[in-house]
Chain A
Amino acid sequence: MIPSPLQSYTRTNWVEADGATLNELLADLDRQFPGIRFRVVDEQDRLRAHMRFFVNNEQTFELNHPLHPGDEVVLVQALSGG
C-alpha cells in the first residue's frame, strides 16, 4: 500500500511489485515509478525519518527483510509537524 504523499508517482494506493527482500521490492517500484525510492530511502540505504514498513502487519526497519509471494507490504508515513 502506498501512502498518499507518494501517490503522485503511482496514481493509486495499491500496487504490485516483485522482490525477495524489501530492498528488491523498492528497486522494482523504482523501475515502475522512477524516483519513488529516493523519497523513501536515502543514499546511504537508510529508511528516511517518518517512513515505516509493515510486512503482513509486522513492522520492520530492515531493508533486507525477506519477502514471499503474496506478502502484503504497507508503507506508512508517521506524520508530524505543521
Chain B
Amino acid sequence: MATKKRKTAKPKRAAARTKKKPVKHLVMIATRKGLWFLHGDGARKQWKVEGPHFLGQIINHVMLDPRDGRTMLAAASTGHLGPTLFRSTDRGKTWKEAKQPPAFAKAPEGAKGRAVNHTFWFTPCHANEPNAWYAGTSPQGLFRSDDGGDTWYSCSYINEDPQYIEWMGSVQDGTPDGPKMHSITVDPRDPAHLYFAMSGGGVHESTDGGKTFKTLVKGMEVVGGFDASNIAFHDPHCMRMCPSNPDRLYQQNHCGIYRIDRPSDEWVRIGRNMPKAVGDIGFPMVVHPRNDKTAWVFPMDGQTVWPRTTVGGKPAAFVTRNAGKSWQRQDKGFPKSQAWWTVKRQAMTSDGRDPVGLYLGNTGGEVWMSRDEGKSWSCIVRHLPEIYAVEAIALS
C-alpha cells in the first residue's frame, strides 16, 4: 500500500512544480459572408463560437501574426464594393481599415491597367522583419507592407512585367473565383529567399527578396493536351514548406500531388501513390510542423467536369508518413456517404501542437477537427456560411 501511495504522489508534486501556463486555441474562419472565431480550451475539446465580424463581407483570408501574437489581418471585399483590408492589434477584438490596401500601379494613358479584385493570401515576412507582411491578390500580384498591414506597395517587378502578365493569363484563364497569387513562402533561414505560386502561372522562386524570380515547374504536369513548357498552363493549388526542413516543399496541384527536395529543381508526383479510385486532385496541402515526411491532403473528385467535391460523397483526409511513398485514408468520424463537400485551398490547416491538431472547413459551413493527427475527426461548428479559409494557432 505504502509503495502505491508514493508512486501516485510523486508525479502530482512534479506536475505542480512544472505547471505551465494553460494553452488555448484560436481558430479563425474566413467565409463568404464574414469572419468567425472558435476559442478552444487546452484539450481542444470545448469550443466557443464568436462572431460574426464583418457580416456580409467576403473574407478571403485572415491571419494572426505569429511574431507578436496580436496583429491580425483580414482581407475583405463584397460583391459590389472594391476590396479592402482590416487590421486588428488586439487579436480580433477591434478592427481598423487599412489606409492603403494593395493596388496595382496606374497604367500609362491608353494602356489597360490591372485592378485588384481582392486580396487572397497573407504571409507574415521573416521573423527578423517584424511588422512586415506579403500579400497575394486576385488577379495575381505580389504586395508588401512594412507597417503591420496599414499601407501596401507593389514589391516586385512581376506585377508589371509583360512576361509574367502573359503567364498570369486573364480572368478567363483563372479559377471561377478569379486567378490568384497564393502560397507566398519565406525561407526561415533567409528573408530574401521566397517562393510563390499562381493559379494559373506556376511556381516561382526568388533568392534576392523578390527583385528577380525564376520558374520552378519542372516535373509538374498540366491538363492533357496542353504544353507543359508554357508556364501559363501550370496550376498549383497550394504549396507548403516543411518547418522542420525548409528544403522540402509539398504541393497540391490541379494535376496531382508533388514534393520537391531542394536544391533539386524537379517536382516528383507523389500523388501517383494515392489509391487509383481516389486520385490525387484537391486544393489544400498541410505539412507536419516537426516531421518532414508527414503531410496531409483532402482529395476532391477531379474527373469529367471537375466536380471538386469529396470523392463519392465520402469525405476523407489522406496522410503520408514517408514523404509520399504511400498514403493512408483517414475518415473516422466523417459522414460515411452523401457528404458532397468542397474544401478550398486555404481551408485546411494544423495547430502545431503535439499531437498535431488538424482543422478543415467546408463549403457547407462546417469546421471539422482532429486532435490525433487525423486518426479521428469531429465537427466543432456547423451552419456557418461557405468557408474560404481556416487558420489555427495555439496560444499560451
Contact = CB atoms under 8 A, between A and B. Distances in A.
A43 interface: yes
B99 interface: yes
Contacts of A11: none
Interface string B101-124: 101111100001111100000000
A6 interface: yes
B97 interface: yes
A43 B78 CA distance: 17
Contact of B81 (A5, A44, A45, A78): A5
Among B80, B97, B101, B112, residue most surrounded by chain A Cβ atoms (within 10 Å):
B80
Interface in A40-82: 40-46, 48-51, 77-81
A14 interface: no
A78 B78 CA distance: 13
A39 interface: yes
Contact of B101 (A38, A40, A45): A38
B253 interface: no
A75 to B, nearest CB: 11
A5 B114 CA distance: 24
Given A35-B97, A38-B103, A5 B115 contact: no
B86 to A, nearest CB: 10
Contacts of A42: 82, 103, 115-116
Contacts of B78: 5
Determine the main DSSP class of B at the interface with A.
Answer: loop
Nearest to A49: B80
Contact of B79 (A40, A41, A43, A80): A80
Interface string B139-168: 000000000000000000000000000000
Interface residues of A, number: 22
Contacts of A43: 103-106, 113, 115-116
B183 interface: no
B84 interface: yes
Interface residues of B, number: 20
B106 A39 contact: no
B106 A5 contact: no
A5 B107 contact: no
Nearest to A50: B80
Nearest to B104: A43
Contacts of A6: 81
Interface string A8-40: 000000000000000000000000001100111
Given A38-B84, A38-B103, A44 B115 contact: yes
A39 B106 CA distance: 16
B118 to A, nearest CB: 12
A50 B82 contact: no
Nearest to B102: A43
A11 B112 CA distance: 35
Contacts of A79: 80
Contact of B80 (A34, A38, A45, A77): A77
B79 A50 contact: yes
Contacts of B105: 43
A39 B115 contact: no
Nearest to B77: A39
A38 B106 CA distance: 13
A39 B107 contact: no
A35 B106 CA distance: 17
B106 A44 contact: yes
A48 B107 contact: no
A80 B81 CA distance: 12
Contacts of B113: 43-44
Interface of B: 78-84, 97, 99, 101, 103-107, 112-116
23 contacts: A5-B78, A5-B81, A38-B82, A39-B82, A40-B81, A41-B82, A42-B82, A42-B115, A42-B116, A43-B113, A43-B115, A44-B104, A44-B107, A44-B112, A44-B113, A44-B115, A46-B115, A49-B80, A51-B80, A77-B80, A78-B80, A80-B79, A80-B80
Q: Which 5 A/B pairs are nearest by Cβ-Cβ distance?
A: A42-B115, A43-B103, A39-B81, A44-B113, A81-B79
Given A42-B116, A44-B106, A81-B79, 5 more contacts: A5-B80, A41-B82, A44-B113, A44-B114, A48-B80
